[in-house]
């Protein structure tokens, strides 16, 4: 028996969450349970709880993402939270940023199969693409790294007054407290912990929101950003 056969039917609430994209969400779940497991992107034990713990848990992030913005999903992995977010919100322009080739191959296949024209897959590390990617309004992440380290990768990708939304678990408050100094140095001006998914997921999804001011990444990254921009202009002129 294959891992895909262990995937439970989609819960009824998924129809409400994904609407016209429900069938695409089901196809994505099937891909995760099959190719995702075979390629080592999802553990076999996660298959029975793919809907509640992974897909819906990520889809409800849409509740706190503003309308019509650009999003970069850092360390996208198997596409969580980027792909569920894209299925719910076609008004967003989403970049799935992932350094590993086998993962970006999977992501590209999913994007093409599901016809997600508003999603782009980019292979690379956050620190490598700064200055190459246009700064975004929102950076998302899930299970990538502790908040202080995640912030050093994600915040410099933001445009001024943007925000990072990190899906976290029970350690959210503890991580936020520990990262306070680092976040300040990176230009954060406000932080909060949000709980989303009322009536959809139980427990609710926990989101750490980090809002930045006019200098995302702080002084440390201002020079890097300027140098990257100059290099980009030079290459274009050539």
Residue-wise pLDDT for 148-167, tens only, equals 999 999 999 999 999 999 99
Residue 61 tokens read as: 């992030």
The mean pLDDT value of the chain amounts to 92
* Residue-level pLDDT at 219: 67
Residue-wise pLDDT for 201-235, tens only, equals 999 999 999 999 999 987 666 666 666 666 655 55
Beta strand extents in the chain (DSSP E only): 70-74, 93-98, 119-123, 136-142, 158-168, 188-196, 205-212
**Please, which residues have CB within 8 angstroms of residue 237's CB and are 6 or more apart in sequence?**
none
CA distances (Å), origin 195, targets 28, 42, 96: 25, 25, 24
- Residue 3 — very low, low, confident or very high, per pLDDT cuts 50/70/90? very low
The residue whose two tokens read 């998302």 is 140
* Residue-level pLDDT at 6: 84
- 181, burial (CB in 10 Å: exposed 0-12, middle 13-18, buried 19+): exposed
Cis upstream peptide for 231 (omega within 30°): no
The percentage of residues in the chain with a pLDDT greater than 90, rounded to a whole number, is 84
For the CA atoms of 208, 213, 218, 219, the dihedral, rounded to the nearest 10 degrees, stands at: -170
Tell whether the model's pLDDT for residue 2 goes beyond 50.
Answer: no
Residue 206 tokens read as: 């926990």
Tell whether the model's pLDDT for residue 4 goes beyond 70.
Answer: no
Tell whether the model's pLDDT for residue 11 goes beyond 90.
Answer: yes
**Please, which residues have CB within 8 angstroms of residue 152's CB and are 6 or more apart in sequence?**
127, 182, 186
What count of residues does the chain have? 238
3-state secondary structure 160-195: EEEEEEEEECCCHHHHHHHCHHHHHHCCEEEEEEEE
For the CA atoms of 220, 221, 227, 230, the dihedral, rounded to the nearest 10 degrees, stands at: -140
Rounded to a whole number of angstroms, the CA Rg of the chain reads: 18
Provide φ and ψ at 93, rounded to 5°.
Answer: -105, 110
Q: How far apart are CA 173 and CA 9, in angstroms?
A: 34
Closest CA to 58 of 76, 85, 18: 85
Q: How far apart are CA 228 and CA 129, in angstroms?
A: 9
DSSP 117: T
* Residue-level pLDDT at 144: 84
Tell whether the model's pLDDT for residue 69 goes beyond 60.
Answer: yes
């Amino acid at each position: 028996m294959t891992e895909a056969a262990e995937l439970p039917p989609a819960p009824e609430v998924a129809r409400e969450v994904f609407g016209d994209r429900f069938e695409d969400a089901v196809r994505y779940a099937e891909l995760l349970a099959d190719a995702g497991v075979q390629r080592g992107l999802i553990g076999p034990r996660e298959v029975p709880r793919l809907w509640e713990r992974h897909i819906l848990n990520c889809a409800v992030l849409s509740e706190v993402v503003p309308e019509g913005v650009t999003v970069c999903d850092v360390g996208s992995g198997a596409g969580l939270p980027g792909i569920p977010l894209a299925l719910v919100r076609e008004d967003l322009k989403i970049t799935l940023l992932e350094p590993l080739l086998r993962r970006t191959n999977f992501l590209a296949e999913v994007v093409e199969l599901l016809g997600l024209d508003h999603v782009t897959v980019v292979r690379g590390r956050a620190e490598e693409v700064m200055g190459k990617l246009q700064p975004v309004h929102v950076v998302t992440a899930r299970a990538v790294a502790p908040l202080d380290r995640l912030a050093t990768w994600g915040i410099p990708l933001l445009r001024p007054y943007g925000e990072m939304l990190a899906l976290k678990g029970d350690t959210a408050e503890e991580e936020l407290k520990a990262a306070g100094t680092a976040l300040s140095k990176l230009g954060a001006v406000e932080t909060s912990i949000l709980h989303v998914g009322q009536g959809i997921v139980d427990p609710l999804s926990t989101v750490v929101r980090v809002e930045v001011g006019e200098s995302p990444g702080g002084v440390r990254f201002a020079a890097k950003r300027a140098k990257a921009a100059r290099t980009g202009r030079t290459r274009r002129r050539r």
